[in-house]
A and B are shown apart, each in its own frame.
Chain A
Amino acid sequence: MKRRIMSFIIVFLIILPMSLIAATEVVNQEAIVNSPQDVLLIYDQLAVDTVYRNNLSEVETLLSSLSQTAEIVSMDDYPGGRLLAYQKVIVLKNTQNTINNPALIADCQNYSGAMIYIGFAAPELVPGLAGFPVNRQLGRTVSVNLNGLAINSIWIDELQVIDATPDSGEVTIGVGTASYPFAKTSGQLTYVPTFIGQPGFTLGLGELLQDWFGRINSVHMTLLIPDIYPFSDLNMVIETADAFYANGIPFTLGVAPLDDNIDYPAMARFYQVLRYVQSRNGTILIHRPSPATVSDSSTVLSEKMYTVIAKMVENGVYPLGLVTDESLFFDAVDAVNPLNLFSSGIIMSDTSIAAPGPKASWALNSASMAVTLETVINSSSQNRNFGNYPINTTIVMALPENKDVLTAQLNTINQKWLSLTNYRQLDNQWTIGQNTVISGPAGIWVNGLPVSLTYDEEPISDDYAYQKPPEYSLEKIFTAGNAFLLTVVGIIIVVFIIIVVFSRRVYLNKFRKVVDQEQDDQPVNQNDKKEGNTP
């Protein structure tokens, strides 16, 4: 017993400074948002009708996943001098079109910081590019080789590679038996000749960027089942949670934060299921609501989100991170409290074309990039264990429609020997409203107290009053008056019935008598015989 208390105190002492650190981190994060971004991203065009259409959003996804903030500007909109405020610049050139912005060309000549140049070379902009020997090939099936992992069978219409032998430990592009480096660095300039919005290339660029930003974190891989609504197939959610639990697979559930009717029994049932999922090594994450569904002000949404999260915590559901589409990062999401208060999240790449216009992003403390299960299937590992992609990744797997699909997906995961991390054991923390939630290898703490994630079923009452009954005034007086009048009227009715019964006797006596008395009272008129006294 004493030991238990001791350990409790120790844990508490460990936690206390942690939350302090975390708090300062939050402040830092906010400070970062206001300061100039980590990197400037300049792109020439969206190249809507080409294979390069996803490039901008993929780069944006990568930056967000690496927790880097960025300012993004197109070459046409580029304001003179902007470049010189940065130490790191990424240039994305999706077309061979010439550059018409003299301010940009002039600034590039004067730029001395680090630069990654992606896509079609434009030596008139960056003279250093002319030094890279480029080999152009048409219609090739290539593979991207990351460290120990290869993503195979990527069809590419127009491949440009740097004609050089790759160094060991470098990302390479394999064409048949030949192998080329994914990128080449010369001084401050790194050149990526071919980039298409495809997971292999994105992950390759991810490795490059990770090194470029000097982030040498340990990488992890998690699993996400996204888009879970209160009206999703909750039985399947339980089924899946059980199966994953049995196979020792930790997973996360992306829950849509519906903000209406959160008192309904249907919602209570939903929370019940989420609690069950938590007891099965599942972690709850929250989707960032789509801005298209947010009608007018983000303050309204913000208020609603506070309520939703408070309600979840109240119901024993602890969301630990945010799931968000890449584009939403650039939609002033940081203005939407409390979604920007999460410390971690998963960035889903957007298939929609990135919207034009200059914009700036913000970053989560730690993030991971979503990859599809298909990408994992297409990846081959040199070892029996799958290992990790070069950056933090999250495998996104839709909720299985039925048991067969579940079994198939489970087999895929098992056969790949994936080493998945429990999201809950990563360091996550947030303070939203009255609640502070912290998670780590030791579990989840809510407001400084550890919480048990064991599932206990609570009965949900079905007789919820959906329609509010109208309120009445003077209710007591009227109820009393009602009872009083009922009694009085009841008595009167009884009296009346007695009178009627008594009357019947009088009636019978009387008219028997009258018949005897004869026609004395007969009216005069002959027409009125019907009124006569014959009974």
Chain B
Amino acid sequence: MKKEPDVNTLHLEEPLKQNTPKIRVGLLKYFTKPSTLGVLVLCGLLFVVLFLPPVIGMGDDGSTAAIITGSDLYNLGELTPKEAMAYFQKNWGIMEYYNDSDNGQITSQTPFLNAARNLDRAYTWDGLFDMRFYGAVIAIFYLIAMYFLFETVTYGKRARWSYVIVGLGVIIFGDTAYTAWINSFYPQALSFFLVMILGTSLILMGQKKLNDYLLIGCFFLSGLLLCLLNQQYALLGLFLGILGISLKYVSADKYYIRICVVGGSLLMLCSLTAFFVMPNGLTNLSAYHSMTRGVLMTAENPEQALKEFSINPQYAVLTGTSYYQAIAPETMDSQEMESAFFSKVNPTGVAIYYLANPGQLYEMLNRSVDSSFNIRPAWLGNYEITQGYAPGAQTSFFTLWSFLKANYLPGNFGFIIIWMGVIIGVYVRFFRKGIIEKNERNTLRFVGLMTWLFIGLWELYVAIITSGDADTLGHLFIFSLTFDLISFIILGKFIHWIEKQLRKVDWEARKQAFLNRNKNKQKQREQRGYRL
């Protein structure tokens, strides 16, 4: 597939290149390349959104407390929990002294947080941690990921249409609904670029764009970081590990094969270890939602469903409620709730329940897809409290795509099924071709997309069993992201196709045909008369 457009463009590009004056410096050329230009635009955008006041970020729902403790950071406590959700907090405390509290949790976020903290200390020594340093660290990786993504869709060409595609990419992935997560301690900040690198490294390998060793390294590293993000991501490593091992068929290079086998096995090992070693991190918050915003909400009879979990059927009154709104926090923390409700809810039980009730699962898929299309949860604010916006206010700067997505895309699983059908239908022939030709490299573009699709669907399911349709753990975010990534790649392909079709058209001939139309009509009329 790659060859076809290449041949076409080569013919067009070659004379063009000869015509360009030699004065053009290579550097300038590099910077005006669509993908580089796109990254530069994004860079400027991020600078405005994340670093200049009003600084945009995500409110804190308290779920990341353990993770930041692991990096010696703490919440200054200037805001009440409710305000902390409604407003973005820029400043956090750095623990001055050695602390040995066991509350800290080491995840793949830790090295990034540590780097940001040390960076902050290099600048100021005020005991305060400015979130923007973390944002800066994440932003660098995000920009690299975006460069990869743009490379996959532009094939490195300088064609006018490539700029259109990159422009679309900037609109979609530079959307503030996405980039606001960069200024937050949520795992979303990391998974945002990790998922991107994971798929694009495969696709780029298929396109033979960049060095294979670099790409396979990116693949394994991002896979590892993703599955160490927290315990629920861990099992993803098994899948990625198997995929990694099977990548050895792509190249005949001895070292490459070794890297694949070793990297894949290591990834599987790590993910298994992580799954059993990491604390499951599931709070009462997510357990609550997995029932009230999931099992109970879609059950024909919530009381019956509760009985299956051997929970007091009277809990049916909580059907559809949110943890933040239903009952007092004291009650949620009470011993009674713990023993009568929370202790009886676990993801395995919920997963089994859904397998036994596929109708409810489908309904949940519908609802989850819908809520995932809101990239920012409505209850998390974007502004600092000092900016004077209403609690929970979210910025509307550069949010065209997220607005369209939330309001105009049909948010239900039926749509996703049709969408998947189209994507697989369009791309599966490349896979088939690759398999028939015994050219595994050519299958990679399909494999890359399918990896995203698999990760997205897996996360959708995990989201449902761990927190219903309330995405309190960032799983639905990944689904939403993979949806956008796949759609973007397909869109890029479609635009290229249109371009190709348009180039084929002989416009001059069309024009002539149009001018001759009247003549032909007259002729036809004469002929008809003849017959009669």
Residues of A within 8 A of B (CB): 227, 229-234, 256, 258, 260-261, 264-267, 269-270, 287, 289-296, 355, 462, 466-467
Contacts and interface: CB of A to CB of B under 8 A. Distances in A.
B328 A292 contact: yes
A266 B316 contact: yes
Contacts, number: 89
B328 A261 contact: no
A206 B84 CA distance: 37
B516 interface: no
Residue of A231, A293, A467 with most chain B CB atoms under a 10 A cut-off: A231
12 contacts: A227-B334, A231-B312, A232-B336, A256-B331, A258-B318, A260-B321, A261-B318, A291-B82, A294-B325, A462-B303, A466-B319, A467-B298
B313 interface: yes
Nearest to B319: A261
B317 A267 contact: yes
A454 to B, nearest CB: 24
Contact of A227 (B322, B324, B331): B331
A231 B81 contact: no
Residue of A232, A260, A290 with most chain B CB atoms under a 10 A cut-off: A260
Given A232-B336, A256-B331, A466-B300, A295 B318 contact: no
A41 B322 CA distance: 38
B327 A295 contact: no
Contacts of B340: 231
Contacts of A292: 81-82, 324, 328-329
Q: Which 3 A-B residue pairings sit nearest by Cβ, starting from the closest? A: A290-B328, A231-B314, A266-B316
A324 B152 CA distance: 61
Nearest to A260: B321
B299 A256 contact: no
Interface in B319-358: 319-322, 324-331, 334, 336, 340-341
Given A231-B312, A264-B316, A293 B302 contact: no
A261 B303 CA distance: 13
A83 to B, nearest CB: 30
Interface residues of B, number: 35
A234 B301 CA distance: 21
Nearest to B296: A466
B34 interface: no
A295 to B, nearest CB: 5
B430 interface: no
Contacts of A265: 303, 316
B379 interface: yes
Given A227-B334, A229-B327, 10 more contacts: A231-B312, A232-B336, A233-B312, A258-B327, A260-B319, A260-B320, A266-B313, A266-B317, A462-B303, A466-B301
Contacts of B81: 292
A230 B320 contact: no
B314 A230 contact: yes
Contacts of A234: 314
A260 B320 CA distance: 8
Interface string B80-116: 1110000000000000000000000000000000000
A266 B325 CA distance: 19
A472 B80 CA distance: 48
B303 A266 contact: yes
B300 A231 contact: no
A296 B317 contact: no
Contact of B299 (A269, A291, A293, A466): A466
A70 to B, nearest CB: 22
B315 interface: yes
A234 B315 CA distance: 12
B318 A231 contact: yes
Contacts of A290: 327-330
Contacts of B300: 466-467
Contacts of A467: 298, 300
B315 A231 contact: yes
Contacts of B299: 466
Nearest to B340: A231
